[in-house]
Structure 1
């Protein structure tokens, strides 16, 4: 019998690709969205997180839930209002789902929620971090901690809950890679800051396949670092992009103070770094990466 996966945040970069792959795997996909028809030909239920409204049929008809919704971390400067939106869009949406699951008779077997390696802090240097490492104390770490606590409210209902602490997602549909690749194509590619800050990356398709395996494999439970096996420095990533594109790197690094002047507190998302390891994925699951190697990932995306 066809299983239905309810996806929130389905119109985003991850959500759109995940929807395609779920359909290829034979799942029925439905979306929770503010708009009545978020993606053509896909059943869409409406919700309004700020008003606390959710169409109960979305929950009643679902076998699994994948929760991706949340305001973009790096889309705008971090004013106080934007910070509040980043936090509330994650915690309030998750709590609304938990309330709907508690109120309605349903058949939901698993809940796979998005999280972020920001849990460990915006800049943790080259210290290896696993799922059991201590959380950070900066803004992003506080957001992720609150986000994961809200996901615990779903787990408290007896639903198997998985949290994927996602690293830097490599895709040409958005995020960091197009911003890094474009200047390289123009012969003006540069590393940022010292260039030695670590980037814990993952190819978009591998991330989506992790979500799908987390749905189906009942051994998955709790927190996993959704990153590729080998983090790289910002300079290594920039040089790898240049090599794949066959372009030179001739300019000096962009100093940290310039990035901070341009982006304010948000600068930590590019000047900071994390050396995050996929320990639970590697040790406890059967997940196989298609793009464990950075060069292979970049060749797939850039060529």
Structure 2
């Protein structure tokens, strides 16, 4: 199949591209600038100028829309907030406009979303896909992100939203950032340490996205998280155990993180359980449903 992936330089997209290419698919990437790729053809796009390079969408059967500026890459200034929003919402609207112009449209559009849809409030309820969006900046952005794709359904294209949790990978992301201070013996749980981390191994996430692509019954939102969430303190201990380092410092106080991170501190200080029952009911099988094994697979020395 001819498959288009946006956000080709990103963590998930790079893993997905490799997997799809190894399965014999013709992969195209949309990027803000041209670069050489070993297994995919790269096309340019520019959301500010309503531009997608000619030929990028020709005969495409599947679109994976994974583009979006990193949530935790920079402090949330008003300017950065706009970048985060536009990179998701405006890019989705651009794709919708271009797809509407096509006579032969893709059969499925799998859009990245995020667990931030439910907000980061700490409560006992396990969030399910039928729940309303939560409160706060990330909930507002994620809700707008999904709503921007609504015209896709009206075109007769099957639309899937993968509400992705914390992705565990050796190529970057939260796990590597958490492991670095622990390697230098200055790591510690954050805040109370009791906040829930809804994680997923990148291999499972990639296979899940491909499963969504291939299963005609899959439609709408799905919580892309593993079955057994852990607390921040538990995950911190798992990392330390995997890289064979001690934890001796007390928890990092919440007020310190709020001073350093500002509003963005909610990502690391709050959280609740997400249910993945809908994914399980669809027939998808996880390779990693134990956080310790997932962390060890990525971090443990050979």
Is the shorter-chain TM-score for this pair beyond 0.5, marking a shared fold?
Answer: yes
The 2-side partners of 1:6 and 1:106 are apart by 14
Superposed, 1:55-74 pairs within 5 Å as: 55-74=53-72
The 2-side partners of 1:188 and 1:93 are apart by 39
Aligned residues: 300
Unaligned runs of 5+ in 1: none
Provide the residue aligned with 1:37 in structure 2: 35
1:117 is matched with which residue: 98, 115, 118? 115
Query: 1:131, 1:279 within 8 Å by CA — same for their partners in 2?
Result: no
Provide the residue aligned with 1:290 in structure 2: 287
Query: 2:99, 2:105 within 8 Å by CA — same for their partners in 1?
Result: no
The 2-side partners of 1:180 and 1:97 are apart by 35
Query: 1:37, 1:43 within 8 Å by CA — same for their partners in 2?
Result: no
Runs of 4+, deviation exceeding 3 Å = none
2:298 is matched with which residue: 285, 298, 301? 301
Query: 1:126, 1:198 within 8 Å by CA — same for their partners in 2?
Result: no
Bigger CA drift: 192-201 or 273-282?
273-282
Provide the residue aligned with 1:8 in structure 2: 6
The 1-side partners of 2:35 and 2:180 are apart by 33
Query: 1:162, 1:223 within 8 Å by CA — same for their partners in 2?
Result: yes
Q: Deviations over 1:240-289 (max 9, x none)?
A: 11222222211100000000111111111111112111021012x11111
The 1-side partners of 2:237 and 2:32 are apart by 41
1:174 is matched with which residue: 153, 172, 175? 172
Query: 1:168, 1:200 within 8 Å by CA — same for their partners in 2?
Result: yes
The 1-side partners of 2:78 and 2:130 are apart by 30
The 2-side partners of 1:204 and 1:40 are apart by 21
Unaligned runs of 5+ in 2: none
TM-score by length of 1: 0.96
Q: Deviations over 1:1-55 (max 9, x none)?
A: xx01100001111111110011122211011111122534521121110111112
Query: 2:110, 2:209 within 8 Å by CA — same for their partners in 1?
Result: yes
Provide the residue aligned with 1:84 in structure 2: 82
Bigger CA drift: 103-112 or 208-217?
103-112
Superposed, 1:160-239 pairs within 5 Å as: 160-239=158-237
Please give the root-mean-square deviation of Cα atoms over the aligned residues, in Å. Answer: 1.3
The alignment partner of 1:59 has SS state of coil
